[in-house]
Homo-oligomer: A and B are copies of this chain.
Amino acid sequence: MTTEALCDEGDIVLVEDPTYFVYLGILQSRGLRARGVRLERDGLDLAHLESVLQSLKRSGELRRVKMIYLVSYFQNPTGVTTSFVKKVEALKLLKRFERAAGHPIYLLEDAAYRELRFDPAAAEKSALAVPGAADRVIYAGTFTKPFATGARVGYGVLPEPVFTAVKHIKGNHDFGTANLLQQLFVRALASGIYEQQVARLQKRYAHKARVMKLAIQKHFPPTVEWWEPEGGMYFWARLPRNVPTGVKSKVFSTALKSDVLYVPGEICYADDPARRKPNHEMRISFGNASEQDIREGIKRLGKVLRKIL
């Protein structure tokens, strides 16, 4: 809804490279373009963000840039969390380029996985906490991911005039989220059940992540690099650059024959004229799988990888 409110056809949205693939579908459906900003282990590559903005300024396209989309906690697909320091710097950078853009450049912080941190004490602050930046930050949260994935209720913190525009769009989409679900969350939050369930899920996912890590250590060949998450539901693995993992690749089809499904890294990258699309990575989810299935799945995937590598 934020994207619909802020962007016109042909506009450009900055995204993490790679990013949440469903969001790329939204951009495509609205005739929007994406520009990728590289990710490091602690989030956005700020030097790259600056160079992307510079290059858009030079090409006269900065006026088409309305926002940057950030999955800032335990990102889907990489598991990466953007540090608060980087949020501060990113917002400074965006502000610097606003004059050349001719309008505000917003940061949309998708915090879907924020509560699903394995160490409850390790909470990175939101971009909303960056001093003086609240009028440029759109915070999108959800009660769903850390509580019950089938009950879809989310919330947002939006500055004006985005708030009013998004409210209208929401009304036109569905005239309001199902009241039954909202009532359910009101009761879960008021009674403390919500907090208990989040704590339970934090432990459960942390445990599943450990199970997956041990299985990966045991079964993956050493030429496969991988990132261990500190929250969320995903491992990110990187094969040697010349070994494709895409939907038409041998790795993908062989894995599928063994009843193992991963999200090919390829589909998490925007069509970006500035770089070739990487095609040698995979998102591996432990969200829904049982411990048993995680062990067995990673064992089978390891076998596929050893065979092909």
Contact = CB atoms under 8 A, between A and B. Distances in A.
A155 interface: no
Contacts of A172: 25-26, 29
Contacts of A148: 180
A54 interface: no
Interface residues of A, number: 22
A132 interface: no
A180 B184 CA distance: 11
A292 interface: no
A180 B29 contact: no
Interface string A132-171: 0000000000000000111110000000000000001101
Contacts of A169: 29
A177 to B, nearest CB: 8
Nearest to A170: B173
A179 B29 contact: no
Contact of A168 (B29, B178, B180): B29
A150 B178 contact: yes
Contacts of A180: 148, 150-152, 181
Contacts of A179: 149-152
A180 B180 CA distance: 10
Contact of A151 (B25, B26, B171, B178): B178
Contacts of A183: 150
A49 to B, nearest CB: 26
A152 B151 CA distance: 12
Given A150-B180, A180-B150, A175 B22 contact: yes
Given A29-B168, A29-B169, A183-B150, A178 B175 contact: no
A174 to B, nearest CB: 7
Interface string A168-209: 110111110111110100000000000000000000000000
Given A29-B169, A148-B180, 16 more contacts: A22-B171, A22-B175, A25-B171, A25-B172, A29-B172, A149-B179, A150-B179, A150-B180, A151-B178, A151-B179, A151-B180, A152-B177, A152-B178, A173-B174, A178-B178, A178-B181
Interface of A: 22, 25-26, 29, 148-152, 168-169, 171-175, 177-181, 183
Q: Which 6 A-B pairs have the closest CB atoms?
A: A150-B179, A152-B178, A150-B180, A151-B180, A26-B172, A29-B172
30 contacts: A22-B171, A22-B175, A25-B168, A25-B171, A25-B172, A26-B172, A29-B168, A29-B169, A29-B172, A148-B180, A149-B179, A150-B178, A150-B179, A150-B180, A150-B183, A151-B178, A151-B179, A151-B180, A152-B174, A152-B177, A152-B178, A152-B179, A152-B180, A173-B173, A173-B174, A174-B174, A178-B178, A178-B181, A180-B181, A181-B181
